[in-house]
Amino acid sequence: MSGDKLREKIQSEIQATSAAELLPHLRRDALFIVRETVDMLDAAVAIAGDESRVVAALIEGGNLYKPSLAQLSDWCVDLELRFQFVILQPYVLAQPIVEDRPAPEKTQN
């Protein structure tokens, strides 16, 4: 799949959800959080495209990390907090939705 096609495919699969809906992915050790300062689509394309140097730089810079159960539990308390997420089997990338960034149109409850 070409880079543009991959990017379009991933973009079309980004959805929004609550923190609680991410818990099953955390429990199976498949959840990664993308820091708000990073474009989640860029990170997802790097992972799906097996761009190991880019992914390593994201991890080393603390921009892509696995949250702790306590951290995600804290996020679950804030019922207004939403995440955009995308599934890249076997991983799930999620990113808190900040007000100045448009939320994806699709929603999972």
What average pLDDT does range 64-74 have in this prediction? 88
pLDDT at 101 over 50: no
Provide the whole-model pTM: 0.84
pLDDT at 104 over 60: no
> How large is the average pLDDT for residues 68-95?
90
Residue 26 to residues 1, 3, 8, 48, 71: CA-CA distances in angstroms?
29, 29, 26, 19, 11
Of the chain, the end-to-end C-alpha distance in Å amounts to 31
Q: pLDDT confidence of 107, banded at 50, 70, 90?
A: very low
Query: Collapsing DSSP states into helix, strand and coil, what is residue 80?
Result: coil
The mean pLDDT of the chain is 89
Quick one: pLDDT band at residue 100, thresholds 50, 70, 90?
low
